Amino acid sequence: MKLFVYEHCPYCIRPRVVLGYKNIGCDIEYLLDNDIDGHMEKIGAKQVPILQKEDKSYMTESLDIVDYLDNLNANPIFTKTNGRNDIEKIFSEMSSEYRTLIFSYVQCASLGEFATDEARQYFIKRYLKHINLDNVNEAIELREKHKEKVENTLKKLEKCIYSKKHISDCGLSMDDVIYFANLQRMLIVPDLNIPLKISEYMEYQLSKNNCNIKYI
């Protein structure tokens, strides 16, 4: 199997969590952000992640891929989520600042999807529209302000972490797939003050993974 991803994309982290926990062999390939044809020829849309199954067919939608991988050999290990409205509410409190802060670092990072300058510039232009800014410098100038907001919000989130092994009291679940993927992105921000309970949770999840999903 082969999984086509972007390194910066939280939806692409989701299936990699399952690959790591279940030790499933799967090649990881990075698509260039501006490689429209590379996406379209596989699934008819510019979207990631994309899983090429062993029969060479393709599937997309991150949670569909997660479900497929988890049920390989009829041995699922992730329980279904009952929904964590408390976590969703906290993420929503910092969603704008979180996205912009992370973008300010992602846009200059050495990631697979930015292997060419054209691909990087394509991403920057596309994402600036998403966060309603005119240029990268604006995002950089907002770093300290947004970092403070994120750090304060993470203190609230810490209270929602059940243990370092799983985020919810039901054990290993889809909550871990979804929320670890969201949290993992913040590792690209240097010197971010991450509360102890969240840090321990992140380190444990990273230790269970064999796909090296951690920014360098």
pTM, entire model:
0.93
**In total, how many domains does the chain have?**
2
pLDDT at 216: 38
**Mean pLDDT, to the nearest integer, of 183-202?**
95
Q: Are residues 38 and 91 in the same domain?
A: no
What is the span of the domain harbouring residue 26?
2-74
Q: Are residues 124 and 177 in the same domain?
A: yes
In three state form, how does the secondary structure of the chain look? CEEEECCCCHHHHHHHHHHHHHCCCCEEEECCCCCHHHHHHHHCCCCCCEEECCCCCEEECHHHHHHHHHCHHHCCCCECCCCCHHHHHHHHHCHHHHHHHHHHHHCCCCCHHHCCHHHHHHHHHHHHHHCCCCCHHHHHHCHHHHHHHHHHHHHHHHCCCCCCCCCCCCCCEHHHHHHHHHHHHHHHCCCCCCCHHHHHHHHHHHHCCCCCCCCC
**111 pLDDT above the threshold of 70:** yes
**Mean pLDDT, to the nearest integer, of 5-17?**
94
pLDDT at 83: 84
pLDDT in tens, 138-184: 999 999 999 999 999 999 999 999 999 999 999 999 999 999 999 99
Average pLDDT, the chain: 94
- The CATH number of residue 19's host domain is 3.40.30.10
Q: Are residues 66 and 89 in the same domain?
A: no
